[in-house]
A = this chain, B = another copy of it.
Amino acid sequence: MAKITLGQKLPTIGLPVVLVGAKVLGRPNFCPIAWATIIDDEPAKMAVVMAKKRKTKDGIVENGTFSINLPGANSVAATDYCGLHSGYKDDKSGVFDVFFGKTLTAPMARECPINIELTLDDIIEFEGTDMVVGDVEEVYIDEEKMTDGRPDIEKLELLMYLNPGGPYFLKGQTVAEAFKVGREYRPK
């Protein structure tokens, strides 16, 4: 296969869509982000990367808590709205039906089928962005999105993002089971 070069830029890559939530001066604010990842599983730790100046980040520093909400397909317009409107200019506290968990200060969006409540662990500063690292305190899921006691990915309809510039998409065809399909594989 002939390869061509695209330069020193970001590749096309599928990423999760998350809504980062924080209480800022008493009001919930939400910021959609696709630059999110897992840092560890035991204990569970996650991170989101955002621009240095973000109202949601102000609230994370203010309270030491935040949320990562995973929107489903039915929240695509509300999610995109949050990305189009800066919390510094517009009040986004009414976009979602907000609930609070054990930390009492991390606002979560009830419309999102999965909500992750975190306490701030660290903010790692890069040249142009900051990475907010948090410890998972609790995970909330809509009871109706469970099947046989487990999260049902088909029911969840989680939004994903295609860098750069979208679109939002859903999980597609399953290709194979992980830690299984490679068992019979032999290198040439």
What is the interface of chain A, defined by CB distance below 8 A to chain B?
1-16, 18, 34-47, 49, 68, 70, 73, 76-84, 92, 94-95, 99, 110-111, 113-116, 124, 126-129, 131, 133, 135-144, 146, 151, 153, 156, 158-185, 187-188
Contacts and interface: CB of A to CB of B under 8 A. Distances in A.
B142 A3 contact: yes
B11 A139 contact: yes
Most buried by B among A111, A141, A174, A182: A182
A176 B187 contact: no
Contacts of A8: 43-44, 135-139
Contact of A187 (B73, B94, B113, B162): B94
A81 B168 CA distance: 30
A7 to B, nearest CB: 7
Contacts of A68: 11
Nearest to A146: B4
Contact of A80 (B126, B138, B158, B181): B181
A83 B185 CA distance: 12
Nearest to A85: B182
A188 to B, nearest CB: 6
A170 B172 contact: yes
The 3 lowest CB-CB distance pairs between A and B, nearest first, are: A166-B178, A172-B172, A80-B182
Given A15-B38, A168-B175, 20 more contacts: A1-B111, A1-B144, A2-B142, A4-B143, A5-B140, A15-B37, A36-B37, A38-B163, A39-B131, A41-B164, A80-B182, A80-B185, A81-B185, A82-B182, A92-B187, A126-B133, A153-B162, A168-B174, A168-B181, A169-B175
